[in-house]
Amino acid sequence: MYNKSEVEWNNKNLPKTKKTVLLALFFSMCVILSYLEHMLPPIPFFPPGAKLGLSNIFVMYSLIFIGKREAFMLAVLKGLFVFLIRGMTAGFLSLTGGLFSVLVMCFVLVLLKDKSTYVILSVFGAIFHNIGQFIAVSFIIGSFALMIYLPVLIIFGIFAGIATAAVLSFVIPAFVRILLQG
């Protein structure tokens, strides 16, 4: 495990240019992963329209090690990218899910403080990303008739969150090296 306080201390001393470059790098990785995930054919046993949300790895990393503002910024940029590539409805769903997810992860970090783990954070983020999108869809169609699908999304969110946390744990050493470099 990495000394989070060392990374946070270093983060407070990051030059603005380096922070901007890191966020640009993270956003480009979000775009690539989001686009690749969208291009994949439907995965057997996944609920219709469900994705793992691997681009959220960068949002989570930003939230944990860089800052809340930067995590929200990445969620907004991802939503705008989806809007440009896939249209208004998909962009609205991405933006609502992303913002709701980051908001809930912020609450989890505040409530659990040092007891929160990547898995807990990721699972809550994935579940509430799905709930945020569900709320957006309900708003679009003007009905909560799809409520029956919500348990499926919550169960899938648990598995997606665990998978995303596993990938985040695997790539964190590279991220920390990038962040701690002078």
Cβ count within 10 A of residue 113: 8
- The residue whose two tokens read 């609502």 is 96
Q: What is the chain's mean pLDDT, rounded?
A: 85
Question: What per-residue confidence (pLDDT) applies to 100?
Answer: 96
Cβ count within 10 A of residue 69: 10
Domain ranges of the chain: 4-181
DSSP state, residue 41:
P
Question: What per-residue confidence (pLDDT) applies to 39?
Answer: 84
Question: What per-residue confidence (pLDDT) applies to 2?
Answer: 44
Ramachandran class of 99: left when φ > 0, alpha when ψ lies in -120 to 50, beta otherwise:
alpha
* pLDDT tens digits along 159-180: 999 999 999 888 888 877 776 6
Whether residue 158 is predicted with pLDDT greater than 70 in this model: the reply is yes
Q: With beta carbons less than 8 A apart as the criterion, state whether 92 and 83 touch.
A: yes
Q: With beta carbons less than 8 A apart as the criterion, state whether 93 and 101 touch.
A: no
* pLDDT tens digits along 23-59: 898 999 999 988 888 788 877 888 877 788 888 899 9
Residues in the chain: 182
Most confident of 9-18, 32-41, 126-135: 126-135
Question: What per-residue confidence (pLDDT) applies to 5?
Answer: 52
pLDDT tier at 22, thresholds 50, 70, 90: confident
Of 115, 9, 25, nearest to 65 by C-alpha is 9
Whether residue 8 is predicted with pLDDT greater than 80 in this model: the reply is no
Task: Please give the CATH topology (third level) of the domain spanning 4-181.
Answer: Arp2/3 complex 21 kDa subunit ARPC3 (1.10.1760)
